[in-house]
Amino acid sequence: MNLGIDGHTALITGGASGIGLATARAFAAEGCSVVLWDLSSKVGDVAQEIEQDFGVRALGSVVDIVNQITIDTALDELAAMETSIDHVVHCAAMGSGKFGFPFTNLQPADWGKTLQVNIQGMVNIAHALTPQFVKRKQGTFVFLASVAGQIGSQTDPPYSASKAANINFAQCMAKDLAPHNVRVNTVCPGMVQTPLNRSVWQAWYDDASDDEKLSYEEWAAVKIKNVVPLGRWQTCEDIAAMIVFLSSKKAAQVTGQTVNVDGGFVMHW
Report in angstroms the alpha-carbon separations of 267 from 102, 108, 190: 24, 32, 11
Question: Is the residue at 218 inside a domain?
Answer: no
Q: What is the pLDDT of residue 211?
A: 60
| Structural domain for 181, as ranges | 9-190+235-268
The CATH number of residue 78's host domain is 3.40.50.720
Of the candidates 120, 129, 30, the residue with the CA atom closest to the CA atom of residue 85: 129
Question: Is the residue at 202 inside a domain?
Answer: no
Find the radius of gyration of the CA atoms of the chain.
18
Question: Is the residue at 33 inside a domain?
Answer: yes
State how far the Cα of 170 lies from the Cα of 116, in Å rounded to an integer.
17
Report in angstroms the alpha-carbon separations of 61 from 73, 120, 220: 9, 20, 34
State how far the Cα of 15 lies from the Cα of 24, in Å rounded to an integer.
7
Question: Is the residue at 172 inside a domain?
Answer: yes
Number of domains in the chain: 1
Q: Angle at Cα 90 formed by Cα 57 and Cα 145, nearest 5°?
A: 145
CA–chain centroid gap for 32, Å, is 18
Q: What is the pLDDT of residue 268?
A: 57
Q: What is the pLDDT of residue 132?
A: 97
State how far the Cα of 243 lies from the Cα of 238, in Å rounded to an integer.
9
Question: Is the residue at 31 inside a domain?
Answer: yes
Q: What is the pLDDT of residue 210?
A: 66
Q: What is the pLDDT of residue 71?
A: 98
Residues 56/32, Cβ–Cβ less than 8 Å = yes
Question: Is the residue at 219 inside a domain?
Answer: no
Question: Is the residue at 164 inside a domain?
Answer: yes
Residues 82/119, Cβ–Cβ less than 8 Å = no
pLDDT string in tens for the chain (269-residue length): 789 999 999 999 999 999 999 999 999 999 999 999 999 999 999 999 999 999 999 999 999 999 999 999 999 999 999 999 999 999 999 999 888 788 998 999 999 999 999 999 999 999 999 999 999 999 999 999 999 999 988 889 999 999 999 999 999 999 999 999 999 999 999 999 887 777 767 777 787 776 656 888 888 888 888 889 999 999 999 999 999 999 999 999 999 999 999 999 988 56
3-class state of residue 121 by DSSP: helix
* Cβ neighbours, 10 Å, residue 115: 16
| Single pTM value for the model | 0.93
Instruction: Decide: residue 127, CB within 10 A, 0-12 exposed, 13-18 middle, 19+ buried.
Output: exposed
3-class state of residue 210 by DSSP: helix
Question: Is the residue at 39 inside a domain?
Answer: yes
Of the candidates 251, 203, 205, the residue with the CA atom closest to the CA atom of residue 224: 205
Q: What is the pLDDT of residue 154?
A: 85
3-class state of residue 106 by DSSP: coil
Q: What is the pLDDT of residue 1?
A: 72
